[in-house]
Amino acid sequence: MQAAASAATIAPAVAAPALLVRLGVGPVALGLYIAALYITAMLSSQLGVALVKRWGPIRTSQVALVLSAAGVALLGVPHLAAALAGALLLGAGYGPVTPASSEILARTTPPERYAMVFSVKQTGVPVGGVVAGLVVPGLTESAGPAWALLAIAALCLVGAASGEWLRAALDRGRDAVAPLPSLARVLAPVKFVAGHPVLATLAACSLVFSAVQVCVTSYTVTFLTHDLRWSLVAAGSALAVAQVAGVVGRIVWGVVADRSGDARRVLLALAVAMALCGIGAAALAPSSAPAAVIALLAVYGATAIGWNGVFLGTIARVVPIADAAQATSGSLFFTYFGVVIGPPLFGLIASWRGGLGLAFALLALPLAWSIGLLWRWRSAAPQVAAP
């Protein structure tokens, strides 16, 4: 289910070279698409807490995937209004998926394995990117971007159906008369995170990390085709390599964080590596050896895409199990805010300079701020919350 939701959000970015031509807009529109998607996801992730209580985590995820299917299908319609509606539906579908899954995993996972298990679950995000990177370019060239996005919409519906056999077991704790979301309940998770020192630090760092991640996943294909003059299929395959590296990275960093008991150092090392990869991307040129480009993208993917499981596992570790969905939703508000502001600024810099390499290098500046936050977080690793 996580992979299908991820594929739906990444697929339009992979098909962006063809979609932008059909819509008659420039690269800045890609950043605006991402902003519209994640503004909606910011809100829907907060609503997700109430929906999980009322519907259960599986039913909430199923509804979310149906919305994602409708959204990605609309993005294949060559009209700006349809593209905007599709982005908003995608955001509405993407927001509740992670709080719902966090509620499930917090109930079913031993606390000492949170980072590893949450990391394994989060591999669904780069797996979705792999699917988008491998499937969308070929279908776009052979049948057009609309059919490519319809294939991803079908994957979302399959993902929704796949949860049905687990629904009776995992949704049995739902409260069918739980109150529907109100403004106060929507803001409660954000206030909860802002008042918790460790969660506030994690949320601030996730704002930066998520901006870097979505710039890597959304602009890599355009960077390779526009700046390095690669073919669309070759660029899609390169993105798939970065996503596979993200799958491996999420598992490895989760295991390292669990065994070391020090998530702060793991996140600090990942932030440094992301900054160096962005600077390295600026040095690439059309004459760069493909193997070197792929190697850099693999490291970039392992770090910029691989941090989420450690982040989510640490959130679940520092709060009581009953607060896992609320802490995750509140933190994701800041995470998605980074996604909202990062890509449009990235796109503006790329348009101003006529290339994306400098924009990747400048991501080192906000990463330096997050490195400072993590460097000051010198307290002992958070203790496992009591059940």
Q: What's the CATH code of the domain at 333?
A: 1.20.1250.20
Helices marked H in the chain: 2-14, 16-23, 28-55, 57-74, 80-94, 97-108, 114-122, 124-143, 145-162, 164-170, 183-194, 197-222, 232-260, 263-282, 290-304, 308-317, 324-353, 357-362, 364-376
What pLDDT shows up at residue 385? 40
What pLDDT shows up at residue 95? 87
* Domain boundaries, position 199: 2-170+184-376
Whether 336 maps to a domain, the answer reads: yes
Burial class (CB in 10 A: 0-12, 13-18, 19+), 321: middle
Whether 386 maps to a domain, the answer reads: no
Fill in the DSSP letter of residue 142.
H
Query: pLDDT class for 182, splitting at 50, 70, 90?
Result: low
Whether 23 maps to a domain, the answer reads: yes
Query: pLDDT class for 384, splitting at 50, 70, 90?
Result: very low
**Number of residues assigned to the chain:** 387
Contact (Cβ atoms closer than 8 angstroms) between residue 97 and residue 211: no
Whether 285 maps to a domain, the answer reads: yes
Whether 107 maps to a domain, the answer reads: yes
Question: Is the per-residue pLDDT at 120 higher than 50?
Answer: yes
Question: Is the per-residue pLDDT at 295 higher than 90?
Answer: yes
- Average pLDDT score over the chain: 86
241-253 confidence digits (pLDDT tens): 998 898 889 889 9
What pLDDT shows up at residue 379? 46
Whether 78 maps to a domain, the answer reads: yes
| Number of domains present in the structure of the chain | 1
Question: Is the per-residue pLDDT at 377 higher than 70?
Answer: yes
| Angstrom distance (rounded) from CA 112 to CA 127 | 25
Whether 387 maps to a domain, the answer reads: no
Whether 342 maps to a domain, the answer reads: yes
What pLDDT shows up at residue 387? 34
pTM beyond 0.85: the answer is: no
